[in-house]
Structure 1
Amino acid sequence: MKLGLHLYDFHWPVGADQAGPTLARIAQTAEASGFDRISVPDHVWQSHHLNGPEREMLVGYTTLGYLCAHTSRIKLLALATASPYWAPVLLAKTVTTLDVLSGGRAWLGIGAGDYEEEAHASGLPFPALKERYERLEEMLQICLRMWQGQQGDERPYEGKHYRIGRTLNLPQSLTRPHPPILIAGGGEQRTLRLVARYASACNLRPGPDIPKKLEILRQHCEAEGRDYHAIEKTCAGAFDVGEDGSRVGELIKQLQDLAAMGIETVLGVVPHVYQIKQLEVIGREVIPAVAEL
């Protein structure tokens, strides 16, 4: 099992002028501690699960670009890109640029979007759910078209919602044939079908229904002619080892349970991550303990 660090709470007891150095220290410690990847949200407002829009939020792809410059190994992704907010060509170019500048460490993490209040209040597009899924699939097709071949497939793209006259993408991504694609969400009929059709990884909520979700993913893979084992099974989580490390055993047990359900990678939130200590404890005591799961 691999562990990734999910950064979504930027309410740190430092001034805005120290946000950059604090973020760099977190990322560098995570990399040195053996975390496989870092993910960040793609939002302009903080979630209501974390005290809502009056809480600080750093925008996703700018943050990933900063992390790219302050790390050398760790993989980088948004969890998850809110597809309604993006034009497909701009998203493909953004992820390609991150991949090139990071030396081939970018992922495209994407979903249909779920923060309606944020979108409407901020003037961002947020169509009905059916249309969001239609647009998500077309966006995936356009990104893959732009990543095809040495110089991309420049044929026009004609979809229901997007029409691209020339899908030019230069320079191409360093990761070939394209940056890995993670599709977030556990929707059984739409999201998991898109995972089977297009993705390198899924991302599920932790819980007892994970085996059911993975069995449905397996069925979609069979229908699509896709190797189920080629898709990385990931989920979100929390990595709380306690301020004194007293919860290490509890966290390892939680990760063992997820591995038994079929999860291969967990992207976790670390409480008070700016204090750094918990990252070091996880690197020293948790990551080696779960590496063979």
Structure 2
Amino acid sequence: MQVGLHIMNFSWPGGPAAIGPTLEQALANAEAAGIHSFWPMDHFFQVPIIGPPEEPMLEAYGMLAWAAGRFRTLQLGALVTGVHYRHPGVLVKQLSTLDVLSGGRAWLGIGAAWNGQESRALGVPFPSMAERYERLEETLQIAQQMFDGDDAAYTGTHYRLDYPVNHPAPVRRPPIMVGGMGERKTMSLVAKYADANNFFELPDPAALRHKLDVLRTRCDEVGRPYEDIVKTTFGQLGPLDLDHARRRFENLADLGVDLAIVDLPDPADERVYEFMAELVREVEPMGRPTPAPLSP
């Protein structure tokens, strides 16, 4: 099993001028610790569970491109892009560019989105949930087509692309991760179109096992091998207690989780990365052999 890094809070001392150097040092420490990937959240404003909208928030794809030029092993994706934020053809071009310039390290993380406040604040249309799911399925179809080099015209209910050419092609076809816990629509889309899922790391292992069992059922319904899906979770790291963390990640590995993405107590604290290096060494042998989409 592997460990990914999520950062959602950029309220560091020193104001805007300090964000770049602080983030650069954090990611350098993460890469040195053997962390698999960097997953900033794709929001325009800070989310309410963390702080008010006036808190600092960086745009995800600018940040990922910046990181790609500075680091050589971290894989890179958003956790996760709201489907209505960007036109799918433009989004695929962004991902393909990121993949080419990073040498094959880009992932497309995407979901149906939820934060209407930030969309309305910036004038971004925020369709109904039903329409966002329709747009998500069309976007997944378009991404598959463009990543595969098929430039035939695409006509859907919400999108029409007359000539979806995508050159240069990605170095590695970016794995598609769909985020969300919905048992009917979201998991059906994972089974039909995605290379990976992302679930919240639920505190009750039985509850997470149930979600994974539902995903298995959705795969069976479309004739997709459940084992083809890279299982990922997102959670808070919590106290820096190696024994506690080892048991926690052993439980995740036993459930079949391949990649555990965590938010650190303070990503600017260099001491946390000594702990993370130990944790990465502990969890690497856990679980099944690394699925192909986890490797560049």
**TM-score normalised by length of structure 2:** 0.93
More divergent stretch after superposition (120-129 vs 90-99) = 120-129
The residue matched to 2:35 in structure 1 has which SS?
A: coil
- Corresponding residue for residue 204 of structure 1: 199
- Corresponding residue for residue 270 of structure 2: 276
AA aligned opposite 1:269: D
The residue matched to 2:77 in structure 1 has which SS?
A: strand
Q: Calculate percent identity across the aligned residue pairs.
A: 39
**Corresponding position: 1:224 with 2:222:** yes
Q: CA deviation at 1:241?
A: 4.0
Q: How does 1:79-98 map to 2 (within 5 A)?
A: 79-98=79-98
Whether the 8 Å CA contact 1:241–1:282 is kept in 2: the answer is no
- Corresponding residue for residue 194 of structure 1: 189
Instruction: Summarize deviations over 1:224-251 as a string: whole Å, max 9, x none.
Output: 1111101111110122344xxxx22222
- Corresponding residue for residue 294 of structure 2: none
More divergent stretch after superposition (139-148 vs 249-258) = 249-258
AA aligned opposite 2:282: A
Structure 2 spans left out of the alignment, 5+ residues? 287-296
Instruction: Summarize deviations over 1:128-186 as a string: whole Å, max 9, x none.
Output: 011000000101111111111xxx211110101101110111110000xx200100011
AA aligned opposite 2:260: V
Q: How does 1:56-95 map to 2 (within 5 A)?
A: 56-95=56-95
Q: Residues of 1 paired with 2:10 and 2:125: CA distance? A: 25
Whether the 8 Å CA contact 2:41–2:80 is kept in 1: the answer is yes
- Corresponding residue for residue 29 of structure 1: 29
Q: Residues of 2 paired with 1:40 and 1:221: CA distance? A: 28
**Corresponding position: 1:174 with 2:171:** yes
AA aligned opposite 1:217: L
Whether the 8 Å CA contact 2:12–2:18 is kept in 1: the answer is no
**Corresponding position: 1:291 with 2:284:** yes
Q: Residues of 2 paired with 1:182 and 1:114: CA distance? A: 17
Q: Residues of 2 paired with 1:229 and 1:53: CA distance? A: 39
The residue matched to 2:234 in structure 1 has which SS?
A: strand
Q: CA deviation at 1:280?
A: 2.2
Instruction: Summarize deviations over 1:167-218 as a string: whole Å, max 9, x none.
Output: 111110000xx20010001100000110001111110011131111111111
Q: Residues of 2 paired with 1:131 and 1:96: CA distance? A: 26
Q: How does 1:87-236 map to 2 (within 5 A)?
A: 87-148=87-148, 152-175=149-172, 178-207=173-202, 208=204, 209-236=207-234
**TM-score normalised by length of structure 1:** 0.94
Whether the 8 Å CA contact 2:153–2:162 is kept in 1: the answer is yes
List, as ranges, runs of 4+ consecutive aligned residues in structure 1 with deviation greater than 6 Å. none
Q: Residues of 2 paired with 1:94 and 1:45: CA distance? A: 21
Q: Residues of 2 paired with 1:273 and 1:112: CA distance? A: 28
Q: Residues of 1 paired with 2:33 and 2:85: CA distance? A: 34
AA aligned opposite 2:124: L
- Corresponding residue for residue 263 of structure 1: 257
Q: CA deviation at 1:15?
A: 2.5
- 2:248 counterpart (245, 254, 262): 254
Whether the 8 Å CA contact 1:7–1:269 is kept in 2: the answer is yes
Q: Residues of 2 paired with 1:264 and 1:146: CA distance? A: 27
Q: Residues of 1 paired with 2:166 and 2:157: CA distance? A: 22
